[in-house]
């Protein structure tokens, strides 16, 4: 497991620990209980997958796709929350499919809207920065765009390694 994958794995453990420490503050059968149960299930599946991995330093491609899926889901969730105050906002960030192609295409679309390109005008760069800032204001990490780009780069590198290995 590389450092980035480890950080993502640890990211799931923190809310579980918080919930367990503060369980009396949450209503029985409430949304927090349900979501924490989902996180515990995911961590269990990750533990099972981790146990089944062989040695080596390369992260399995499925782990990379899951990281991308998680980042896209987080962005989509925040866009949906913003959509409650601004109807139509979430339409700019469609849900991703499950295939690798669908995930990468959706990631590229999100990057196109959030990350300034070299050929963008100053107004376009400012608009993209303002859009990214809205996500940060809704508790996305300040590096979420870079993280998303990193996910896409990692998948491209894994594909290149697979292709060169063939």
The whole-number pLDDT of residue 43 equals: 80
Task: Please indicate whether residue 121 or residue 166 has the higher confidence score (pLDDT).
Answer: 121
Check whether residue 99 and residue 140 sit in a common domain. yes
Check whether residue 82 and residue 160 sit in a common domain. yes
Check whether residue 51 and residue 66 sit in a common domain. no
Check whether residue 93 and residue 158 sit in a common domain. yes
Check whether residue 85 and residue 50 sit in a common domain. no
Check whether residue 62 and residue 52 sit in a common domain. no
The whole-model pTM stands at: 0.62
Check whether residue 129 and residue 81 sit in a common domain. yes
Whether the per-residue pLDDT at 57 is higher than 50: the answer is no
Task: Kindly state the average pLDDT of the residues 147-155.
Answer: 94
Query: Per the structure, how many domains does the chain have?
Result: 2
Mean pLDDT for the chain overall: 87
Check whether residue 18 and residue 65 sit in a common domain. no
Enclosing domain of residue 11:
1-56
User: Model confidence over 72-85: pLDDT tens digits?
Assistant: 999 999 999 999 99
Whether the per-residue pLDDT at 48 is higher than 80: the answer is no
Q: How confident is residue 44, by pLDDT bands cut at 50, 70 and 90?
A: confident
Residues in contact with 74: Cβ distance below 8 Å, sequence separation at least 6, in sequence order:
140, 144
Q: How confident is residue 93, by pLDDT bands cut at 50, 70 and 90?
A: very high
Q: Answer with the one of 56, 79, 98 that is the final residue of a domain.
A: 56
Closest CA to 1 of 80, 74, 54: 54
CA distance 149 to 145: 6
Q: Answer with the one of 56, 78, 98 that is the final residue of a domain.
A: 56
Check whether residue 89 and residue 129 sit in a common domain. yes
Check whether residue 63 and residue 52 sit in a common domain. no
Task: Kindly state the average pLDDT of the residues 32-42.
Answer: 84
Residues in contact with 8: Cβ distance below 8 Å, sequence separation at least 6, in sequence order:
67, 70
Q: How confident is residue 54, by pLDDT bands cut at 50, 70 and 90?
A: low
The whole-number pLDDT of residue 141 equals: 92
Q: Answer with the one of 21, 37, 56 that is the final residue of a domain.
A: 56
Q: What percent of the chain has pLDDT over 70?
A: 92
Check whether residue 23 and residue 69 sit in a common domain. no
Check whether residue 98 and residue 20 sit in a common domain. no
């Amino acid at each position: 497991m590389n450092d980035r994958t480890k950080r993502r794995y640890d990211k799931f453990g923190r809310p579980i620990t918080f919930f367990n420490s503060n369980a009396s503050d949450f209503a029985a059968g409430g949304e927090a209980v349900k979501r924490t149960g989902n996180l515990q299930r995911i961590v269990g599946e990750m533990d099972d997958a981790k146990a089944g991995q062989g040695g080596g330093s390369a992260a399995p491609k499925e782990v990379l796709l899951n990281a991308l899926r998680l980042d896209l889901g987080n962005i989509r969730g925040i866009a949906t929350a913003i959509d409650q105050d601004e109807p139509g906002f979430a339409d700019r960030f469609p849900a991703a499919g499950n295939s690798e192609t669908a995930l990468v295409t959706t990631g590229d679309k999100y990057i196109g809207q959030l990350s300034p390109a070299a050929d963008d005008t100053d107004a376009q760069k400012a608009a993209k920065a303002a859009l990214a800032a809205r996500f940060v204001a809704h508790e996305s990490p300040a590096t979420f765009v870079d993280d998303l780009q990193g996910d896409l780069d990692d998948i491209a590198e894994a594909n290149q390694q697979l292709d060169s290995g063939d």
